[in-house]
Amino acid sequence: MAKILYTYTDEAPMLATHSFLPIIQAYASTAGVDVETRDISLAARILAQFTDRLPAEQQVPDTLGELGALAKTPEANIIKLPNVSASIPQLKAAIKELQAAGFDLPDYPEDSDSDEAKDIRARYDKVKGSAVNPVLREGNSDRRAPASVKAYARKNPHSMGAWSADSKTNVATMAEADFRHNEKSVILEADDDLRIQHVAADGTTTVLRESIPVLAGEVVDGTVMHVAKLQEFLKAQIARAKADDVLFSVHLKATMMKVSDPIVFGHVVKAFFPDVFAQYGDQLAEAGLSANDGLGGILAGLDKLENGAEIKAAFEKGIADGPRLAMVDSDKGITNLHVPSDVIVDASMPAMIRTSGHMWGPDGNEADTLAVLPDSSYAGIYQAVIDDCRANGAYDPTTMGSVPNVGLMAQAAEEYGSHDKTFEVASAGKVQVLNKAGEVLIEHDVEAGDIWRACQTKDVPIRDWVKLAVTRARASKTPAVFWLDETRAHDRNLISLVEKYLKDHDTEGLDLRILAPIEATAFSIERIRKGEDTISVTGNVLRDYNTDLFPILELGTSAKMLSVVPLINGGGLFETGAGGSAPKHVQQLVKENYLRWDSLGEFLALAVSFEHFAQVNDNARAQILADTLDRATGTFLLENKSPSRKVGSIDNRGSHFYLALFWAEELAKQTEDAELAAAFAELAGNLRSNEEAINSELIGVQGSPADIGGYYKVDEAKTDAVMRPSATLNDLIGSLSV
């Protein structure tokens, strides 16, 4: 039987699923549509790696692998909610929780000297960082703001901080020796099998990756960040922030770039506290306290050291002597340098731009900021937006245009597929990429500690990406800009392929352009201020950046974007928007039984999932569910039933009730299916007449702590009870039948 698979993930989206999924399943059943969950939470992904250590009753299947295989088939219909992209601290926390719950899991090994340690680390590395997206994204990305969402944002504008022409906020990025400047790129003429090796200065050769199968037409890149130059750059920026009296912050992507960016983050921590690491660095390393894990991890481990108080005082002096640090939580003393995954560039930079170019300082007040993005590949787009706001003021959500995105991401395209080919260089020499014949395709001179990486972009996804861009440009009658820089090696190769594959399509009458990212940003924001839309056609990283940057400015959040992934083999992946997995929302629920997660992304994804199901399976009722859900979502927005932030008002659970009510009323009004209309007319009437009682039950539980039995692996019965506290609503939904 054809079905929709709804992913069970982590944190706030997982909690929302406990409330919303029973409604989805009840409504879907009236059209004969089976909606099943697949657990791809961090906890489930960890447990799936260690079935050989666990008794049968604790073993879980590899559901991510199952979904990955399904994504390559025409039958796929997958709704993907945001999941934890685990940094090392998050991974360790999840392991600790599972161990405490009775699961016989090994600790994450800091070193992998023995074969057993290497095996354990390799298993954990499979779930570290963004392990989910590369598996499921067997298609390219089409992200845009639905008309109903855009209309709502214009009528109900979110707050935008005013900009001053005197703002000292800026982006700092490397001018040489980084990934962007050292990039080399080749297009493979035939299928091949590549090898990556390190040749030391004394001639010793170490194979870093024995086999990388590649296909004809595949684009392969290699690049290196020279750490000596990185250290010089960081030292200069710390001094600059101090001299300019602005906050110092670093913005990386330690979740997706899960090998390279934690290393870069560690260098930032060391650069900020040079005296501490000069005096105590060896001792910290011996204790397993790594700068790569952030200041928070080091401070938490100092209690175990005999001179821990002395080292802590040295860190405190470093904070006092340095520039003011941007804060994640000034009340709790959590700095920008505490956890590598706390400040993620694609979310943190637009939030800063939206807030007058400010971040929060240690005094709890906003202040101008020096945003440090070491690699210069894409840093310029943020500087371009900052310069525009400094010159022209904040954007106006009531009039501004939109920047939808067509993103090249299928089959682990570009940098986000580089983690298994990223290495911290052991000694001076060369890193080489060789083909099967032994010919050197790419080569870099390296020094000890340099960060070298390679990535691949297959030809079929590139062709599909160009096709999707043309399709979207024609459908929306909107200019489409390929954000590609001819002075960058990878982009030069992509430009040649884009120009080649555009000839396969009818482009007459379309405005299609190729512009370098900074010029593309300037073109797009000029149109934004005129209320005009511009499609950004980008690679994988810029897809991630742009689908946060522009929606956060336009809509107040990226979670309200419609995110469709037409899978290359004909199936559909429907993502519920960006916005992360919202750990602070979970903390609020546990503290006061209030969940402010906004499920609008789930509503949007579900509608297009039903539509896809209807088309593939010739199911008229599924199409009715899609059409009525779309209209109900419009009503939901106009009636302003999204969760607020305050206890005593409707939260995520209340928003699900209102969506169910508006959806039932739309189904009752539709005229295509009288039997369906009759069933939902009864439900709609009962929901409407019990509105006060249901709200009383939903809001009445708020204000006191909630027990969900865990964080990374919750107790499902307890969580059901917390997330479905209205017996009246539960009974009415449970009574639905056609």
Domain parsing of the chain, residue ranges: 3-138+567-734
Residue 15 parent element (H or E): helix 11-29
Instruction: Report in angstroms the alpha-carbon separations of 472 from 39, 406, 468, 475, 506.
Output: 33, 8, 6, 5, 13
Which is nearest to 129 in space by CA: 39, 250, 297, 259?
259
Task: Tell me which residue has tokens 């299916």.
Answer: 673
Pairwise pLDDT comparison (734 vs 147), residue with the higher score: 734
Model confidence band, residue 709 (pLDDT cutoffs 50, 70, 90) = very high
Reply yes or no on whether the pLDDT at 596 is more than 70.
yes
Calculate the dihedral angle through the C-alpha atoms of 442, 493, 380, 544, rounding to the nearest 10 degrees.
-100
Residue 662 parent element (H or E): helix 652-669
Reply yes or no on whether the pLDDT at 392 is more than 70.
yes
**What secondary structure letter does DSSP report for 108?**
P
Q: How far apart are CA 45 and CA 85, in angstroms?
A: 11
Q: Which two tokens stand for residue 17?
A: 């699923």
What whole-number percentage of the chain has pLDDT above 90?
A: 89
What is residue 702's predicted lDDT score, i.e. its pLDDT? 97
**What sign does the dihedral 699-703-709-713 (CA atoms) show?**
positive
Q: Give the DSSP letter string of 480-526.
A: EEEE--TTSHHHHHHHHHHHHHHTTS--TT--EEEE-HHHHHHHHHH
Reply yes or no on whether the pLDDT at 578 is more than 70.
no
Other residues' Cβ atoms within 10 Å of the Cβ of residue 159: 9
Model confidence band, residue 133 (pLDDT cutoffs 50, 70, 90) = confident
Provide the residue type at 699 as one letter: I
Name 454's bridge partners. Answer: 222
> 275 and 262 in contact (C-beta within 8 Å)?
no
Q: How far apart are CA 373 and CA 389, in angstroms?
A: 19
Reply yes or no on whether the pLDDT at 577 is more than 70.
no
Reply yes or no on whether the pLDDT at 576 is more than 90.
no
Name 359's bridge partners. Answer: 367
What is residue 579's predicted lDDT score, i.e. its pLDDT? 62
Q: How far apart are CA 395 and CA 402, in angstroms?
A: 12
**What sign does the dihedral 704-707-708-710 (CA atoms) show?**
positive
Name 563's bridge partners. Answer: 143, 575
Q: How far apart are CA 60 and CA 69, in angstroms?
A: 17
Q: How far apart are CA 642 and CA 156, in angstroms?
A: 12
Contacts of residue 654, Cβ cutoff 8 Å, sequence gap at least 6: 641, 643, 695, 698, 699
Q: How far apart are CA 284 and CA 277, in angstroms?
A: 8
Beta strands 205-214; 192-200: pairing state? antiparallel
> What is the chain's alpha carbon radius of gyration, rounded to the nearest angstrom?
26
What whole-number percentage of the chain has pLDDT above 70?
A: 99
pLDDT in tens, 139-190: 999 999 888 888 888 988 999 999 999 999 999 999 999 999 999 999 999 9
Give the chain's mean pLDDT: 95
Residue 221 parent element (H or E): strand 219-225
Cα 402 vs. chain centroid, distance in angstroms? 20
Helices (H), ranges, 30-174:
42-48, 63-70, 88-100, 115-125, 133-136, 147-155
Q: Is residue 448 packed enough to be buried (19+ CB in 10 Å), middle (13-18) or exposed (0-12)?
A: middle
State pTM to two decimals. 0.86
Q: How far apart are CA 651 and CA 569, in angstroms?
A: 39
Contacts of residue 316, Cβ cutoff 8 Å, sequence gap at least 6: none
Contacts of residue 285, Cβ cutoff 8 Å, sequence gap at least 6: none
Q: How far apart are CA 134 and CA 142, in angstroms?
A: 16
Q: Which two tokens stand for residue 192?
A: 């091949």
Question: Collapsing DSSP states into helix, strand and coil, what is residue 201?
Answer: coil
Q: How far apart are CA 614 and CA 621, in angstroms?
A: 7
